[in-house]
Structure 1
């Protein structure tokens, strides 16, 4: 008998929906609640590395995701010169295994729909516009009150409710989330035929200008600058600012700028980071995904780490017969140092850029590829 028969998952992002799907597929009664009134996904697109694709396959959704995304095996480096000159074409490590692409771009809303669809079809009960407002636990379970006036008792609560997690605060964990010093412009737009992989431009007026195909007809483009307060800009001003910053980059960027016309699809956020020291649980409440760790997307590993958290937690809950200290020690042994290595490396890449230091990025990439090639 598994360690749990009933679980509440708070938050319908990657970590939450994956946890719900893994557990419900094996007969656990799962409630998944999301405070937002409907499925949403901040931003425009996401780059999923091979180890994330491996987790999508384990969830049974790889084929669905592949149909909605755009896979590639090479990353290009281009110069911020008038021609957008290609200076290197780097084969990406197939960290998910030889039978999966090295990477895939995908619209974030599409990925959210795929994972939510899987959780629902295997039996998870999903409620939008509902959030927990109280938690009280004893040695056998957790009593939860919800914003709609309902209540429930669960063997376990999984807090997958993001960087500013309510669950984390509710169990008394204080965690400093600090800005990295960079802000990122993201835009979702039609894909020019010349964009068939991620290309990165380092230098010019910004730290990075890049793009990633997310489907046959779509891409997301991004520009990383020093962090500024852009909160008072109107959508039209955001579009104009991103277009102005992009004017220094050429090659496919010339085509991308021409199709950046929808102000509603331009977003600006700051890079932030935190990492919770173990334990990530307090009794029968555990944190996963961004609630426990977040970092700048310099390695494009945030989604993969969230999916891995879900897989490892579900494996242990289904394979053991008690929620006890041995289970938590096993969970932390498999997750904390692996995540710490990724978070530290992501922050190191950002720091090199901020300090205008030429660090040994190839060695760092190889080290992370070797780590993530090993299943979590």
Structure 2
């Protein structure tokens, strides 16, 4: 079977763009299609922990990402009143020259990833996706939604939670499920003293603050939302303040500044974990298309970037594609499964009002796992 020379990536999110840069850096031809007609970024900020920083460094992206974000070392656990319970030090898994953690706005991260992928020679087309694909032993014939066609050695479905590639190749019965929780987010100016990730455990909700840049941070609060109700956009500010009612300290002071519903980002928590294997012939899933998780561990995007690292390393090896994709599963499946299930478990505990000890113990275990090499 011929070496992988040309790859189609469907989806221009964090995972897809990271993979594009990784493959181009190794000389593989890459086409990337994104269904959006222009680049738009949903959300406010993102937390990159030690394993994500290491993965970004392996892809040659970290220096640019570091310049666009806010580096920090520690995570502080606080009571709902704002009293410090424990300060957890981070690990510099990428080496002493890089920080343990990084906060960055999603827009800034997207600009870095999209510009780097383009500079490395990725052919990027916006406003279209895959209409039909047919594969044989030697390749995949793809027809796009604009009527154009292409042939590839491998097609990568990096098109997110509601992946069209997954539906086309793996079956429409694989659908995301709502966990019972949602998350509200809002940006604020960052005071100098907020130089770490702040997580506050409340009785009914959990909230926190994450630095994103010299001047910016974001607040989040998770909440139980039985039935996944439709939330009117003009009520988002009122609802976010309501979910923050039990919090004091800096969260309580900031709460009263949440007045513009257009500044609130609301997202129901939906998950999916595709059974092994994540490939069918010459089509493979990665990122949220294969393993979308809740944000409780800040690892959703990180797992997608790790997927990109492993695929980039494997696809240049001189071995049959079936063997390479099998190795991809060996390196990714159990790790992703543990983290997805752990994030869901934390959310379940929150909704049940379970003890803080269970949550803290599981978080520490996850930190140990993600610190291990890929």
Do Structure 1 and Structure 2 share a fold, with TM-score over 0.5?
Answer: yes
Structure 2 unmatched ranges of 5 or more: none
| Corresponding residue for residue 60 of structure 1 | 60
Matched, 1:222 2:220: yes
8 Å contact 1:2–1:319 — kept in the other structure?
no
Q: Which residue of 2 aligns with 1:20?
A: 20
Q: Is the 8 A contact 2:77 2:199 kept in 1?
A: yes
TM superposition shift of 1:43 = 1.0
CA distance in 1, matches of 2:110, 2:129: 19
SS in 2 for 1:171: helix
Paired position in structure 2 for 1:38 = 38
CA contact (8 A) 1:131 1:147 kept: yes
CA-based RMSD = 1.9
Which residue number in structure 1 is paired with residue 73 of structure 2?
73
Partner of 2:7: 7
Contact residue 2 and residue 138 of structure 2 kept, 8 A: no
C-alpha separation in 2, matches of 1:106 and 1:35: 24
Shift of 1:128: 1.0
Greater mean deviation of Cα atoms: 260-269 or 16-25: 260-269
Identify the residue that residue 98 of structure 2 maps to in structure 1: 100
Alpha-carbon distance, 1:309 to partner: 0.5
Partner Cα distance (2:49, 2:231) in 1: 34
1:160-309 aligned at under 5 Å gives the runs: 160-173=158-171, 174-204=173-203, 206-227=204-225, 229=228, 231-234=230-233, 236-257=234-255, 259-309=257-307
Q: Return the alpha-carbon distance in structure 1 between the equivalents of residues 67 and 259 of structure 2.
A: 26
Could you tell me how far 1:322 is from its partner in structure 2?
Answer: 3.0
Distance change in 2, residues 1:342/1:298 (3 Å):
same
Stretch deviating more after TM superposition (138-147 or 361-370): 361-370
Shift of 1:259: 4.6
- Paired with 1:35 and 1:244, the residues of 2 have a C-alpha distance of 36
Contact 1:97 1:373 in 2 (8 A): no
User: Alpha-carbon deviation of 1:177?
Assistant: 1.8
What residue number does 1:151 align with? 149
- State the number of aligned residues: 371
Q: Is contact 2:50-2:90 (8 Å) kept?
A: no
SS of corresponding position for 1:319: coil
**Does 2:87 correspond to 1:110?**
no
Q: Is the 8 A contact 1:191 1:256 kept in 2?
A: no
Match 1:337 to one of 334, 346, 350 = 334
- The CA deviation string for residues 195-234 of structure 1, in whole angstroms up to 9 with x for no partner, is 2211111114x32011101111111111111125453413
Separation in structure 1 between the aligned mates of residue 156 and residue 78 of structure 2, nearest angstrom? 42
Question: Is 241-250 or 57-66 further displaced after alignment?
Answer: 241-250
Instruction: Compare 6-15 and 225-234 and name the one that shifted more.
Output: 225-234
**Alignment partner of 1:49 is 2:53:** no
